[in-house]
Structure 1
Amino acid sequence: MVFHAIDGKGYTSNLDLAHVYSLEEAQKEYELSRDGEYPISADHIDSLSIAKVDHQCLPAISDLTPSDKYVVFIKGIFDGNDVYWVDMNGRRSTNFIHAQIISRTAAECINHVDYVVVPFELADKMKRRTFNASLLNKRKMVTAAGLKTPERLKKRRRRIVNPMTRFNCPACGKINWQHNPYDFDGCKHCDEGLLIGSQWGAA
């Protein structure tokens, strides 16, 4: 999930660079928001945040620069832009906290065709706090947090979409509603288009 950056400087997935609003400011932003934009309780976001690392911030091949600690990620497989860290049991996770720290000796024995080894310090410096959009609970994180749904959004939710398509009869001009959105099925008022069907049925 991406957030408004500090001082309106675009968007960011890094929570430490996201703008934090007061309740009053958040409500005002909600009133002016576009579709898909919601003010969310910062406390809830912080409690569910995890540290991830963008592959663009890491080398594409192993870097065995002298270090006491190394971490390993899968080469060429990403969640969005984020790498999958692995442990010695083969488990993988985008959460940097699950990256197993290994020694120099272990780092040299890794399969460098399928995995990339980097110094722990490098990866740790590049990590950022993120929030997974699948964890969003609008009732709990928006409404229960004290934010009121704007009237325009309430009206949009109440609006019922007609599943039928409107056609004007080419013969009498009267309006006909039908489920087929592509072809005129015939007029219920003057039988235009329906006569052919009945002739075929009689034959």
Structure 2
Amino acid sequence: MDADRFYLQDSRSNVGSRAMFWKLGGGYTSNLDQAEQFSREKAVKQYECRETDLPWPVDYVRARAEVSVDFQHLKRSEAEAYRNVDGRVYVAYPRGWDGNDLVWRGGSGQTSNLEDAIHPGKSDASVYLAQGFDLWPCGYIAERSRPVVRAATLEHKQALREAGLKLPKIKRQRIRRYTTNCDGCGRFLSELQRYHSCPNCGAGNAP
């Protein structure tokens, strides 16, 4: 286990159920194969700059990964021309997505994890086609799959504890609230109120 390699998660938002990480070369990605890996020191420094960028040990995240397929990278014309030797297909729900990922018919219902998806042979595929499912050649889909992780499966305190990392406390700048007294009645006014008439006596207090 390499406890000194970390992903940085942009924890402000997910795409569907998928956690988003800093992408090698810039931007963000749910594809763990494209996520940049940072040293322990660099990951902590970035967290200190922006505490929504959470460091995650690479091994911890990878152990919880599943396999998904981004529908944006699929073309029906390519799939129909693909030579699938054994005739097996994956069965997808039409207009069903987890973020950008296809939702498949699994052994016990819907799943966005390709490893849990059924893949019937050619003789059984027509049954699912008649039921309105979308069919994709297994080989074509496998070539376009990638590892992702569901944000709900990640527990930050546990991950850092396993890596022996304690993040520094972020010092938040205190917001100073200015007050002044009304020239007419002496009541306290906020910085905003002083530019308007006093809500109590109507006196003007603008500097």
Q: Is the TM-score greater than 0.5? A: yes
**What is the root-mean-square deviation of aligned Cα atoms in Å?**
3.6
Task: Indicate yes or no: 2:77 matched with 1:77.
Answer: no
- Does the CA-based 8 Å contact 1:38-1:142 persist in structure 2? no
Relative to structure 2, which stretch is displaced further, 95-104 or 57-66?
57-66
- Between the aligned residues of both structures, percent identity stands at 30
Partner of 1:146 in structure 2? 164
Matched, 1:29 2:42: no
Q: Which has the higher helix share?
A: 1
- C-alpha separation in 2, matches of 1:72 and 1:43: 31
Residue 116 and residue 176 in structure 1: after superposition, are their counterparts in 2 closer, same or farther (change >3 A)? same
Aligned to 2:16: none
Q: Which residue of 2 aligns with 1:50?
A: 66
Structure 1 unpaired stretches of 5+: 178-185, 194-203
Find the counterpart in structure 1 of residue 57 from structure 2: 41
TM-superposition CA deviations, 1:56-97 (whole Å, max 9, x none): 1234698485531111110001111111110466x1100000
**Are 1:127 and 2:145 an aligned pair?**
yes
- Show the 5 A alignment for 1:144-183: 144-151=162-169, 153=170, 155-156=171-172, 172=185, 174-175=187-188
Q: Compute the TM-score of the two structures, normalised by the length of structure 2.
A: 0.68
Deviations 1:154-193 (A, max 9, x none): x34x979x9xxx898695362269xxxxxxxx75xxxx59
List alignment gaps of at least 5 residues for structure 2.
1-18, 191-198, 203-207
Number of residue-to-residue matches in the alignment: 176
The structure number with the bigger radius of gyration is: 1
**Are 2:182 and 2:189, in contact at CA under 8 Å, matched by a contact in 1?**
yes
TM-score (normalizing by structure 1): 0.70
